[in-house]
Structure 1
Amino acid sequence: MESSTHTMLAITWFGLIGLMLVFYVVTDGFDLGIGILSLLRKRREDHDVMVQSIGSVWDANETWLVVLGGALFGAFPDAYALILQDLYLPIMLLIAGLIMRGAAIEFRHSVSHGRLWDKVFGIGSLVAAVAQGIVLGKVVTGLMPGELSDVFVTISAIGVVAGYSLLGSTYLVKKTTGSIEQWSRRLALLSAFVTVAAAVFLTVGTWLISEVGQERWTQAGVFHLLIALGLAAALAFAFVMVSLYMGSSRGPFRGAVALFMLSFAGLAISLFPDFVPGKLGIVESASDSSTLVFMLIGIGFLFPVMIGYNLYQYYIFRGKVLTGSHAGE
């Protein structure tokens, strides 16, 4: 009885951590994407509009990463230790990139060094995105060394950068007007194709070199479920394309969010019941049942507050950015 209860609690926390990861990637993903895209614009007026589009929500979006790290440490300490031990450098790069972004947003109004801080904002966003792509690639390959793994991790980093650029560009389509909106539509098309191309490559690579493809995908029912998710992702991609072509403001971002959510559902199904394929299982790495229950009570109070606050922010600051909406024209 104790064993079944512990298993249920461990699986519940695996799902909750996956949900936190989805919230973080979607919300902070478009923040990072806008930062990456800012490197492609030279006018400070354009940078003002791009930063203003996320100025009211970016710090709350990053809160999900803090909660995610704390939940992983408390619920799955062995997984936390293994991931931090093997991925110390990319995680430190991730933290450095986020610090650069936060400092740049605060100091970019400097009269004498404003352009420099704009560069720091873009570079920090790019560094954080690349670091997350490295972590993703390393985890999917089971922290396996070798040239094939390095290629897989490189494509994973490119895919994350492209995916965040897709989220960022479609968010700018939703929030801006004029030449920046039209420029963002073109970037969204390019980012979407690069994202899908990277996803296809990673899918093939996972099948060939990862424990996920060799064991998990061959289990009864798993492959068919992943095929269904793949078809749904293809429909989300088509929806993004059609929405951009039809001139919709909100449709492209909604389609991009759906594409990310479906991709993460496929990732969670592929990893289950492991945290790191071939190295560490979910149940074996979980804390004792009393700890998981105590944390579950705490997250039960915290989750509604965080989700409610995020939704309230997006509701209050909905609509297009008006100040400087003529930028770039």
Structure 2
Amino acid sequence: MVVDLPFIWAGIIAFAVLAYVIMDGFDLGVGILFPFFPEKHDRDVMMNSVAPVWDGNETWLVLGGGGLLAVFPLAYATILPALYAPLIVMLLALIFRGVAFEYRWRTKRAEHLWDLSFIFGSTVAAFSQGVALGALVQGIPVVDRAYAGGWWDWLTPFSLLTGVALVVGYALLGATWLVMKTSGRLAIKARRIALRTAGATILAMGLVSLWTPFLNPLFLERWFGWPNMLYSGIVPLGVAGCFYLLLRGLLKRRDVLPFVAALGLFVLGFIGIGISFYPYIVPTSVTIHEAAAPDESLLFLLVGAVVLVPLILAYTAYAYWVFRGKVDPHEGYH
């Protein structure tokens, strides 16, 4: 039996990226929502809700980026030059946000400045990720196995739309996370914000979904060609179902259901990107097999991944289990 190692590794890296988006998305969303909660006590509780897990969530970003370099070096060498600007801004924003997270608890006089830094880092990181995604979806010109575009090719109306869409989506994740993890007045306010961001997220997903098929004939065929639309049509039906569960959970005052439904929206959006992309890793220039390292390297790295990925999943699950339930408003990160 022939094992398709590039396909397996594409699945592993796709899983790592998805894990990062859904896990780090809600704590970026908490930072994005800070301006709507001006009281110090509310902000303390919000930060305490993500304090045990926020830095561990970014493990998946390291795994996805490092895996791309090791397993698909051609894709790494093509994508990075095309997206240097938004990715560098993203990393700087994440660093800035991490520093703000720590220093906010160490000072009283300048606490408001670190609050602003936390808001800025979270929002800019989310926006940069969305811009990078939009630039990748719209296509990267490749000539002779190298990036053939310019420095500003990533900056387009479509990439700006995806940047705004991801900020709104992360805000939804953050709001539903707060509904699940907090209580009292803060949770009530988070529920109201979740209702608004749910509608905005669906609108943004609709705009991006309607625009994407017309960026490339391949995308148009994948979504509207026959019989492809019989399978691709499952995604918008799933989105509608998750949106219904999200609204139902918020209106019925459920705590966990809205967050799970919001995660479902992101998973389905990620599946939609996979439907458009496959088998390309750099649409529509480089396939996963063309970009892959030699099979010997892939097999060697897979041995490590078989050990490493379950360990990451185990300690992540343990952290979330230990810190399950509502946040105690009188205890937390100091």
Q: TM-score range by the shorter chain?
A: over 0.9
Instruction: Tell me which amino acid in the other structure corresponds to 2:36.
Output: L
The separation in 2 between residues aligned to 1:95 and 1:23, in whole angstroms, is: 18
Residue 204 of structure 2 is matched in structure 1 by 198
Structure 1's consecutive aligned runs of 4 or more residues displaced over 6 angstroms after TM superposition are 144-149
Cα distance change, pair 219–77 in 1 and its aligned pair in 2 (3 A)? farther
3-state SS of the aligned residue for 1:87?
Answer: helix
Task: Using the TM superposition, give the Cα deviation of residue 229 of structure 1 relative to its aligned residue in structure 2, in angstroms.
Answer: 1.6
Query: Quick one: which of 71, 82, 101 aligns to 2:78?
Result: 82
Residue 178 of structure 1 is matched in structure 2 by 184
3-state SS of the aligned residue for 1:39?
Answer: helix
Instruction: Tell me which amino acid in the other structure corresponds to 2:66.
Output: G
Instruction: Tell me which amino acid in the other structure corresponds to 2:114.
Output: W
Query: Quick one: which of 318, 321, 325 aligns to 2:324?
Result: 318
Indicate the larger mover: 246-255 or 275-284: 275-284
Indicate the larger mover: 211-220 or 232-241: 211-220
2:94 paired with 1:98? yes
Cα distance change, pair 201–303 in 1 and its aligned pair in 2 (3 A)? same
Choose between structure 1 and 2: higher helix proportion: 1
Indicate the larger mover: 135-144 or 154-163: 135-144
Task: Using the TM superposition, give the Cα deviation of residue 194 of structure 1 relative to its aligned residue in structure 2, in angstroms.
Answer: 1.1
Instruction: Tell me which amino acid in the other structure corresponds to 1:65.
Output: L
Residue 264 of structure 2 is matched in structure 1 by 258
Query: Quick one: which of 213, 228, 238 aligns to 2:219?
Result: 213
The alignment's TM-score, normalised by the length of structure 1, stands at: 0.93
> Alignment identity in percent?
38
Task: Using the TM superposition, give the Cα deviation of residue 26 of structure 1 relative to its aligned residue in structure 2, in angstroms.
Answer: 0.5
Residue 137 of structure 1 is matched in structure 2 by 134
Give unmatched runs, 5+ long, in structure 2: 142-148
Residue 308 of structure 1 is matched in structure 2 by 314
Task: Using the TM superposition, give the Cα deviation of residue 236 of structure 1 relative to its aligned residue in structure 2, in angstroms.
Answer: 0.5
Query: Quick one: which of 60, 64, 67 aligns to 1:64?
Result: 60
Indicate the larger mover: 110-119 or 163-172: 110-119
Task: Using the TM superposition, give the Cα deviation of residue 216 of structure 1 relative to its aligned residue in structure 2, in angstroms.
Answer: 3.7
Q: What do residues 255-274 of structure 1 show as CA deviations (whole Å, max 9, x unaligned)?
A: 11111111111211211010
2:148 paired with 1:152? no
Cα distance change, pair 107–232 in 1 and its aligned pair in 2 (3 A)? same
**CA contact under 8 A between 1:33 and 1:164: conserved in structure 2?**
yes
Task: Using the TM superposition, give the Cα deviation of residue 222 of structure 1 relative to its aligned residue in structure 2, in angstroms.
Answer: 3.3
The separation in 2 between residues aligned to 1:226 and 1:143, in whole angstroms, is: 24
Residue 42 of structure 1 is matched in structure 2 by 38
Give unmatched runs, 5+ long, in structure 1: none
Give the aligned length.
321
RMSD: 1.9
Indicate the larger mover: 109-118 or 29-38: 109-118
Q: What do residues 291-311 of structure 1 show as CA deviations (whole Å, max 9, x unaligned)?
A: 111111101000111001111
2:273 paired with 1:276? no
**CA contact under 8 A between 2:180 and 2:326: conserved in structure 1?**
yes
Task: Using the TM superposition, give the Cα deviation of residue 251 of structure 1 relative to its aligned residue in structure 2, in angstroms.
Answer: 0.7
The separation in 1 between residues aligned to 2:234 and 2:41, in whole angstroms, is: 44
Task: Using the TM superposition, give the Cα deviation of residue 221 of structure 1 relative to its aligned residue in structure 2, in angstroms.
Answer: 4.5
3-state SS of the aligned residue for 1:53?
Answer: helix
The separation in 2 between residues aligned to 1:287 and 1:10, in whole angstroms, is: 8
**CA contact under 8 A between 1:44 and 1:115: conserved in structure 2?**
no
